[in-house]
Structure 1
Amino acid sequence: MSQHPLSESEISDLRSLLFELQVEHRDLDLVIAHLTDNPPPDNLLVRRLKKRKLLLKDRILQLEQMLVPDIPA
């Protein structure tokens, strides 16, 4: 990551992106639950959705870390 502080515009953009990813992550939870609760589940689709959900979670964590200012030791 870059060492320069984020501008207000960059922070706003990151927060917007973070919100969108969180919504998509929640939506995937609902879709996965629906697919697994209504047999027979499409196992390939469920695996793909879970993989996408994990990728979203990683990206969400990265964005959250970018929004938290560094604390000097």
Structure 2
Amino acid sequence: MVLPPHPRGDDFAQKFAEANEHWNLQKLYKDIANAKQQERLRRCKQLSITERACLRGLLCNYSPTEIATELN
């Protein structure tokens, strides 16, 4: 199976940017990353670019399908 190229970080950083107006995203990213690390015993200390974009989409009331379409 061939995966499509990973979108550039700049492109994903601009998706659902209106979430910045209503949420403290840096704190939310950090809190979720901490929970993710504890739950999965992962060494990753930050959310991926994709996870951040998905979170912003959810915070902006986009459905998972709409988020997937937008990020694809």
The two structures share one fold, judged by TM-score above 0.5: no
* Higher helix fraction (1 or 2): 1
What is the TM-score normalised by the length of structure 1?
0.30
What is the TM-score normalised by the length of structure 2?
0.30
Rg (Cα) greater in structure: 1
User: Relative contact order (alpha carbons < 8 A, sep ≥ 6): 1 or 2 greater?
Assistant: 1
